[in-house]
Amino acid sequence: MPRTLNVLPPEKGVCLITLQRPEALNALSTELLGELAQALETAEREPEVRVVVLTGSRKAFAAGADLKEMAERDLIGTLEDPRVRHWQRIAGFSKPLIAAVNGFALGGGCELAMHADILIAGRDARFGQPEIDLGIIPGAGGTQRLLRAVGKSQAMQMVLTGEAIDARQAQRVGLVSEITQPELTVERALEIGRLIAAKAPLAVRLAKEVLLKAQDVDLASGLNIERQAFVMLAGTADRNEGLRAFQEKRPPRFVGR
């Protein structure tokens, strides 16, 4: 049983994971990151989980790396930090991951939110990379993912000043896709999760993979990757079912093959 997370069994294909370190505003201790990586790997293996929603508390999604732990790590400790591996495991989750963010998403908390494929934020959410105030820089992908998500000027401003942006600004710059009342953030994320969970699993999986590739490769290579995935799906039972259901004017029954 994880000590720093609450993992609910999937409902209608959607599993809800809640970060639970209220005493530290869900600061990302090594234990928490390891438990989260483990929970996602379990979700990866379970066919009944189609989508994962990740959330924190109303006050904080996560207030970043655990600064008390960080204070005890020197250069060698940082070089050999087991957290790096946990972050890689989290990034490797192949099913859709939706972040439902309320309150603070700072430092590693903002970086964790950016590991999600879709971000839904409560009106009071605040996204920031305050590492510069500690004499460091973001260390869990913040410089790379933030720039890709919001563009150079906004990313530079956030990383160099350390100042957070609110949910409205986060939506304006494309970090967040929807804003809700804080009490509805998780429900809205679950609703989007259920919508995705009802789609053809192979198409969902390849759509995520191909969209993520778009951030890393040039247009010609990306179009080639998209084409290969598109052709691959033409051989699936779910594609035939989708086309047949359209003609027969009924909802499709996808089986994941």
Judged by CB under 6 A, the chain residues 126 through 145 that form the site for ligand CAA are 130-131, 134, 138-140, 142
Shortest distance, position 114 Cβ to ligand CAA, whole Å: 11
Q: Is 162 a catalytic residue?
A: no
Q: Is 111 a catalytic residue?
A: yes
| 114/189 with CB nearer ligand CAA | 114
Question: Residue by residue, what is the 3-state secondary structure of the chain?
Answer: CCCCEEECCCECCEEEEEECCHHHCCCECHHHHHHHHHHHHHHHHCCCCCEEEEECCCCEEECCECHHHHCCCCHHHHHCCCHHHHHHHHHCCCCCEEEEECCEEECHHHHHHHHCCEEEEECCCEEECHHHHHCCCCCCCHHHHHHHHHCHHHHHHHHHHCCCEEHHHHHHCCCCCEEECHHHHHHHHHHHHHHHHCCCHHHHHHHHHHHHHCCCCCHHHHHHHHHHHHHHHCCCHHHHHHHHHHHCCCCCCCCCC
Task: Tell me if 56 contacts ligand CAA by CB under 6 A.
Answer: no
Task: Find the catalytic residue in 65, 121, 140, 197.
Answer: 65
> How do 165-166 and 126-128 pair as beta strands?
antiparallel
The interface mask with ligand CAA, positions 2-41, x = CB under 6 A, is ----------------------xx-x--------------
Q: Is 131 a catalytic residue?
A: yes
Shortest distance, position 213 Cβ to ligand CAA, whole Å: 24
First-to-last C-alpha distance (Å) of the chain:
33
| 107/182 with CB nearer ligand CAA | 107
Shortest distance, position 35 Cβ to ligand CAA, whole Å: 16
Among 10, 56, 64, 96, binds ligand CAA (CB under 6 A): 64
| 26/236 with CB nearer ligand CAA | 26
| 108/201 with CB nearer ligand CAA | 108
| 14/116 with CB nearer ligand CAA | 116
Please answer whether residues 113 and 149 qualify as being in contact, where contact means their C-beta atoms are separated by less than 8 angstroms: no
Q: Is 105 a catalytic residue?
A: no
Please give the positions annotated as active site. Answer: 65, 108, 111, 131
Q: What does the binding site for ligand CAA look like in residue numbers (CB under 6 A)?
A: 24-25, 27, 63-68, 104, 106-108, 111, 130-131, 134, 138-140, 142
